[in-house]
Amino acid sequence: MGRISETFGRLQGEGRKALIPFITAGDPDPALTVPLLRTLVRAGSDVIELGVPFSDPMADGPTIQRASERALAKGVSLRQVLSLVATFRTEDRTTPIVLMGYANPIEAMGVEAFAAAAATAGVDGVLVVDYPPEESADFASALQRHAIDPIFLLAPTSSDARIAQVGALASGYIYYVSLKGVTGSATLDVAAVAARIPEIRARTGVPVGVGFGIRDAATAAAVARIADAVVVGSRLIEEIEQSTAAAACDNVLTLLTGIRQAIDAAAPAAGER
Amino acid sequence: MPVPDHDLPDASGHFGPYGGVFVAETLIAALDELREAYAAAQRDPHFLAEFEHDLQHYVGRPSPLYHARRWSERLGGAQIYLKREDLNHTGAHKINNCIGQALLARRMNKPRVIAETGAGQHGVATATVAARFGMECVVYMGAEDIRRQAANVYRMKLLGATVVPVDSGSRTLKDALNEAMRDWVTRVADTFYIIGTVAGPHPYPMMVRDFQSVIGRECIGQMQEQCGRQPDAVIACVGGGSNAMGIFHPYLPVAGVRLIGVEAAGEGIASGRHAASLTAGRPGVLHGNRTYLLQDENGQIIETHSVSAGLDYPGVGPEHAWLKDSGRAEYVGVTDAEALQAFHDLCRIEGIIPALESSHALAYASKLAPSLARDKILLVNLSGRGDKDMHTVADKSGIRF
The pLDDT > 70 percentage for chain A reads 95
pLDDT digits (tens, 9 = 90+) for A40-91: 999 999 999 999 999 999 988 889 999 999 999 999 999 999 999 999 999 9
Mean pLDDT, rounded, for B379-396? 94
- Per-residue pLDDT band for A187 (boundaries 50, 70, 90) equals low
- Per-residue pLDDT band for A9 (boundaries 50, 70, 90) equals very high
- Per-residue pLDDT band for B150 (boundaries 50, 70, 90) equals confident
> Is the pLDDT reported for residue A269 higher than 70?
no
The pLDDT > 70 percentage for chain B reads 99
> Is the pLDDT reported for residue B206 higher than 80?
yes
CB B32 within 8 A of CB A161: no
The pLDDT > 90 percentage for chain B reads 88
Give B 158-177 residues with CB within 8 A of chain A: 168-169, 174-175
Q: Which residues of B touch A159 (CB under 8 A)?
A: 29
Q: Report CB contact under 8 Å: B299, A106.
A: yes
Q: Which residues of B touch A78 (CB under 8 A)?
A: 298-299
Q: Does B34 touch chain A (CB under 8 A)?
A: no
Sheet containing strand A97-101, strands side by side: A149-150, A125-128, A97-101, A48-51, A18-24, A229-232, A208-211, A174-177, A152-154
> What gap in Å lies between CA A260 and CA A253, rounded to an integer?
10
The DSSP secondary-structure symbol of B7 reads: G
> Is the pLDDT reported for residue A125 higher than 90?
yes
Query: B172-181, B196-205, B331-340: lowest mean pLDDT where?
Result: B172-181
Q: Which residue from A102, A132, A180 is facing B21, i.e. has the nearest CB?
A: A132
φ and ψ of B63, to 5 deg: -80, 150
- Per-residue pLDDT band for A271 (boundaries 50, 70, 90) equals very low
- Per-residue pLDDT band for A117 (boundaries 50, 70, 90) equals very high
Comparison of pLDDT for A34 and B175, the residue scoring more: A34
The CA-based angle A219-A222-A228, given to 5 degrees, is 110
Q: Chain A residues contacting B, CB < 8 Å?
A: 54-59, 61-62, 65-66, 69, 72, 77-79, 102-109, 129-132, 134-135, 152-155, 157-159, 162, 166, 177, 180-182, 185
Mean pLDDT, rounded, for A136-165? 94
* Type of residue found at A78: L
pLDDT digits (tens, 9 = 90+) for A212-231: 888 899 999 999 999 999 99
Mean pLDDT, rounded, for A2-16? 96
Q: Which of A83, A104, A234 to mutate to test the interface with B (most CBs of B within 10 A)?
A: A104
pLDDT digits (tens, 9 = 90+) for B78-91: 999 999 999 999 99
- Per-residue pLDDT band for A268 (boundaries 50, 70, 90) equals low
Nearest residue to B211 (alpha-carbon basis) of B200, B196, B224: B196
- Per-residue pLDDT band for A273 (boundaries 50, 70, 90) equals very low
Q: Which of A130, A138, A178, A187 to mutate to test the interface with B (most CBs of B within 10 A)?
A: A130
Q: Does B315 touch chain A (CB under 8 A)?
A: no
Q: Which residues of A touch B168 (CB under 8 A)?
A: 62, 65-66, 69
> Helix, strand or coil for residue B93?
coil
In what helix (H) or strand (E) does residue A235 lie, and over which residues does it extend? helix A234-242
pLDDT digits (tens, 9 = 90+) for A24-38: 999 999 999 999 999
Task: Provide CB contacts within 8 A for B142, sequence distance 6+.
Answer: B118, B165, B166, B170, B171, B172, B173, B175, B176
Angle between helices B121-133 and B150-158 (to 10 degrees): 10
Mean pLDDT, rounded, for A178-195? 76
pLDDT digits (tens, 9 = 90+) for B334-372: 999 999 999 999 999 999 999 999 999 999 999 999 999
pLDDT digits (tens, 9 = 90+) for B284-325: 999 999 999 999 999 999 999 999 988 989 999 999 999 999
- Comparing alpha-carbon positions, the chain A residue that sits nearest to B184 is A181
Q: Which residue from A54, A103, A129 is facing B300, i.e. has the nearest CB?
A: A54
> Is the pLDDT reported for residue B183 higher than 50?
yes
Active site residue A46: no
- Per-residue pLDDT band for B397 (boundaries 50, 70, 90) equals confident
Mean pLDDT, rounded, for B186-192? 92
Question: So what's the ipTM on this one?
Answer: 0.94
Nearest residue to A161 (alpha-carbon basis) of B30, B202, B29, B36: B29
Q: Which residue from B26, B189, B301 is facing A59, i.e. has the nearest CB?
A: B26
CB B20 within 8 A of CB A135: yes
φ and ψ of B82, to 5 deg: -110, 125
Predicted local confidence at residue B400, as pLDDT: 83
> Is the pLDDT reported for residue B20 higher than 80?
yes
